[in-house]
Chain A
């Protein structure tokens, strides 16, 4: 049996260190070791995107990254974006525009959308749909998810302008 390795991650700004087999998938390290149960285990085959987190500035399906690979990286999960008392703009707009039904895909959706809006702060509807293609939702038919993301983009741009 191969040795466990010393893994060090920075997750939502906090250091996390533990011993793990390198084959452990990042999603399980986040959920079971660090108790960050926002990212979900959906398909576990890198299709559905429910496990999406941000690793070193990239949207990543954490079911398809070994914890060995992730060693030394900075990880952001949905827990790092907002809190129940201070929702992220995307969390607000998903609530307001009914961008979820069962909610299972939502943490992955919002974490991916956050990165999408960082790269493209003013996307068209088509760009949102293309940029969200790695996240599946079985409930909403996507319409309200797209609406929520476009609304978040508009709000973020408005508050940016107000700040200037």
Chain B
């Protein structure tokens, strides 16, 4: 499987990337680790006459945790997220999710930026970023802007990012309380049949904050405000969990594919979300 020919660029700064994007428009694509794009190019489902490799671009890597804010460069790989001790301490849900993505070889190459910017509903990080209420930094010809993860996704592979913009980093407030990223997949390395990201705040026996997002159950990640609201102020007992799951299931819109029919996916979504809530609450 050989992709169509392309011109290959490896700029060293973001200005160089944007200049190429402006010059070639739709015919240019940026590539981070390439583990979503290269398979699509090999299948000739993605046509990229001008391929811009980001690996040498300065300032796109790194993980910083300062004053309760976590900032992760777009080129940080899943392996980087897993290995970063400070991140495991400040936002352990990222490590938990990253460990469930693909396999070791892919995690060495696959990046957080690529995972969130690609717009693939099967990717795990978009839902997680919505759960954490992350902000994505986009840089384009007119400068820098910030878009909330919860506003970023429009449809499968369609996002708020303009063609000549590059997603350079994500940032979010260090989450407090209990967390869980639960994922059901057919085999290790697969995309989710259903996955759920849950962060819960707890004071005494009461749930003070709840954020719930789900992966691969619609053509975009689904942050369910209603599901979170169903847990807030409760003791996260069986009734509250049932209400939250019911609310989340009202917000998803799965389609039938080789992971199963709609009824099965809805069933799995309920099971996975219940487990994620229970796990997050136990850790809160």
Contact = CB atoms under 8 A, between A and B. Distances in A.
> Do A and B interact?
yes
Interface of A: 1-3, 5, 21-23, 25, 44-47, 49, 52, 58-61, 64-66, 68-69, 71, 112, 116, 130-134
B34 A69 contact: yes
Contacts of B2: 23, 25
Given A22-B6, A23-B2, A65 B38 contact: yes
Contact of A22 (B51, B79, B109, B189): B51
Contacts of B39: 45-46, 64
Contacts of A116: 104
Interface string B1-22: 1111111101000000000000
A46 B190 CA distance: 12
29 contacts: A2-B5, A22-B6, A22-B8, A23-B3, A23-B4, A25-B2, A46-B35, A46-B39, A46-B105, A49-B103, A52-B105, A58-B79, A61-B105, A64-B39, A65-B38, A65-B109, A66-B8, A66-B34, A66-B51, A69-B31, A69-B53, A69-B55, A71-B10, A116-B104, A130-B188, A133-B104, A133-B189, A134-B104, A134-B105
Contacts of B79: 58
Contact of A58 (B10, B31, B35, B108): B108
Contacts of A1: 5
B48 to A, nearest CB: 10
B68 to A, nearest CB: 31
A131 B189 CA distance: 12
Nearest to A56: B108
B283 interface: no
Contacts of A46: 35, 38-39, 105-106
Contact of B109 (A49, A60, A68): A60
B267 interface: no
A79 B40 CA distance: 30
A84 to B, nearest CB: 27
Contact of B104 (A2, A23, A47, A59): A59
A5 B6 CA distance: 11
A4 to B, nearest CB: 10
A25 B103 CA distance: 20
Contacts of B189: 47, 133-134
B151 to A, nearest CB: 31
A13 to B, nearest CB: 21
Nearest to A57: B108
B89 to A, nearest CB: 20
Specify which of B1, B3, B38, B189 lies most central, judged by the most chain A CB atoms within 10 Å of its CB. B38
B124 to A, nearest CB: 16
Contacts of B8: 2, 5, 22-23, 66, 68
B75 to A, nearest CB: 13
Nearest to B105: A134
A44 B1 contact: yes
Specify which of A59, A65, A71 lies most central, judged by the most chain B CB atoms within 10 Å of its CB. A59
A65 B31 CA distance: 11
Given A65-B38, A133-B188, 14 more contacts: A1-B5, A2-B8, A23-B5, A23-B8, A44-B42, A45-B42, A46-B39, A58-B105, A60-B105, A61-B105, A64-B35, A64-B39, A68-B8, A134-B104
A41 to B, nearest CB: 10
Contacts of A44: 1, 42
A52 B34 CA distance: 16
A116 B188 CA distance: 17
Considering the complex of A and B, which 6 residue pairs feature the smallest CB-CB distances, nearest first? Answer: A134-B103, A22-B8, A58-B108, A68-B8, A134-B105, A133-B103
B34 A59 contact: no
A25 B6 CA distance: 13
Contacts of A112: 104-105
A123 B105 CA distance: 18
A11 B272 CA distance: 45
A144 to B, nearest CB: 19
